[in-house]
Amino acid sequence: MSYCLNPSCKKPKNPDNLEVCAACGSPLKMRDRYLGVKSLGRGGFGTTFLAQDMQLPGNPLCVIKQLRPSTNDPQIFQMAKELFEREAETLGKIGNHPQVPRLLDYFEYNKDFYLVQEYVKGHNLQQEVKQNGPLSEAGVRQFLQEILPMLDYIHTQQVIHRDIKPANLIRREQDKKLVLIDFGAVKNKVNPQAAANTSDQTALTSFAIGTPGFAPPEQMALRPVYASDVYALGVTCIYLMTAKSPKDLQYNQKTGEMMWRQEVDISENFAKVLYKMLDVSVRHRYQSARDVLNALDMEPYMDSLAQSMIAPTGGNAEPEPEPEEPPDSQPSSATQRLAMAIRAKRDRNKGHKAGRLGGSLNRMSNRLPNSGRGMQTSGRPVPGKKKVSRLDAKTVLDSYRKGRRDFAQQVLSTLNLQEAQLAGGIFHQSKLRRTNLQGANLEGADFGRASLAEAVLRDANLGRAYLSGADLEGADLRGADLSHANLTRANLKNANLCGANLKGAKVKEEQLSLAKTNWFTVLPQGRKGLW
């Protein structure tokens, strides 16, 4: 049985003894060389065939990819040709890698374009998961260790794949190695009218959107980067562990983040790696496959590193021996980087201890009768100085319900005030470090010069809030309403503003450049996107 390679043929199956198709009359041997076996798939760009190369000994199998423009418009035809040549050039450049199919031939035939590639026999990862079920954490780690070096090689060749997903990763039957296929990313038809109203660059790029759910926001906005492949690889990991495609998972409607954590049973350290691979903000994602590999190399040491960074409480604790390292060496391995991190933390701890000792001596000198400070020694409070107290969450909420609004200069750190109704509250100069205010109504509240470092303000209403001079370093403000808020001189270093609404807010460009934003962030001017 032979298969007609004319994609328009209605009855492509033919007996072996024919030279032309009985249905359409097309030669069954394309260019007197390639004999069709069957169709492998059909999409908006054309058809993929399995064929035999009749000019090589043994008639080996190959894959023929056809690109057929959806219009006779000369401009669209030229664009399709350029895309075709680009994929051929890409495959020619990276096809020497053992985990990438080799380009065997490419040509134009009857105004259609064809690529001939090495045939990889095996099952793709989507088929494997459907047959065998989800992978464990160990299985996904092994998957990453195999695929990341190959992806790193592709990136060093200045190639962005743009369509990494389980269906494009085939486990080769011969040696069980994973092979990455489909470097065309040519999956959507070009609308001739839309193309006429855009530049050639935009029209060409619109072919290569990628697969929704696997492609990150910047790629869907036609701005793919190397980190876009990292995101798609992260989504692939989630699929491998859950057997759920992206469309079957929940997403945060305000931030666009995939809500996958509750679906998998994995270690917290590995979860942190995946979180960073899947960060919707491209600036805060791993920038390359090499970065992910480095993180996985360091990840087994993270628990011991955290323990090593805890300053000993006893004064007689003996110092740990320094990890040996050749003089003047560069931190080229995970162990060396770990050693440097431990030493740096230990040095900082020594500095903090010295600072605390100095502060203790100053406080002692303040209490001496002749210290010259004019401080009282009777234990009575200093006149005019407000007493700072520690309130619990129940006291704050009960007091607010009874009409109290002034909570200035209070210690409210680490309290759970989730979804609290505190609109118009005065928290001027209060300490709210790591306080949980997720979903709270804080509209018009005064947080001037307050400490909100690492506070959880996700989905909180901070409309028209006064946050001038506030410390919001590392705060979680995903999906928060900050419209018309006053953020003058606020510290936004590492604050997560993904999906936050900053329309009309008073904030400077240099402040936002330190924060984390994404394509769902509403900027002060009212437009969405990265700062």
| Best CA proximity match to 185, nearest among 199, 165, 158, 156 | 165
Taking the C-alpha atoms of residue 492 and residue 381, their distance in angstroms, rounded to an integer, is 35
Query: Alpha-carbon distance 76 to 21, whole Å?
Result: 30
* CA distances for 252 relative to 317, 478, 479, angstroms: 47, 10, 9
The Cα–Cα gap between 161 and 118 comes to 18
292 vs 285: CA distance, rounded Å:
10
For 309-341, b/e burial (b = at least 16 CB within 10 A) is eeeeeeeeeeeeeeeeeeeeeeeeebeebbbeb
If you ran DSSP here, which 8-state letter would residue 236 be given? Answer: H
From the candidates 53, 112, 163, 291, give the one annotated as an active-site residue: 163
Nearest to 187 by CA among 334, 42, 7: 42
CA distances from 349 to 316, 322, 325, 344, 358 (A): 15, 15, 22, 9, 14
Q: What angle do CA 352, 358, 359 make, to 5 degrees?
A: 90
Structure tokens that stand for 311 in this block: 């300053």
Q: How far, CA to CA in Å, does 211 sit from each of 214, 253, 473? A: 6, 20, 35
Return the residue matching tokens 């904030």: 507
Write phi, then psi, for 27 (nearest 5 degrees): -60, 135
DSSP 409: T
For residue 167, what are its two tokens? 């269906």
| Maximum CA extent, the chain | 114
Edge-to-edge strand list for the sheet holding 178-180 = 122-124, 169-172, 178-180
Q: Looking at beta carbons, which pairs linking 30-39 to residues 24 or more positions away fall under 8 Å?
A: 30/5, 30/64, 30/109, 30/114, 31/107, 31/109, 34/5, 34/62, 34/64, 34/116, 35/2, 35/59, 36/2, 36/3, 36/4, 36/5, 36/12, 36/64, 37/2, 37/3, 37/61, 38/3, 39/3, 39/12
Q: How far apart are CA 325 and CA 304, in angstroms?
A: 18
Cβ–Cβ under 8 Å, residues 424 and 443: yes
| CB-facing half-sphere around the CA of 241: CA atoms within 13 A | 26
Total length of the chain: 531
Known catalytic residue at 163? yes
Enumerate the active-site residues: 163
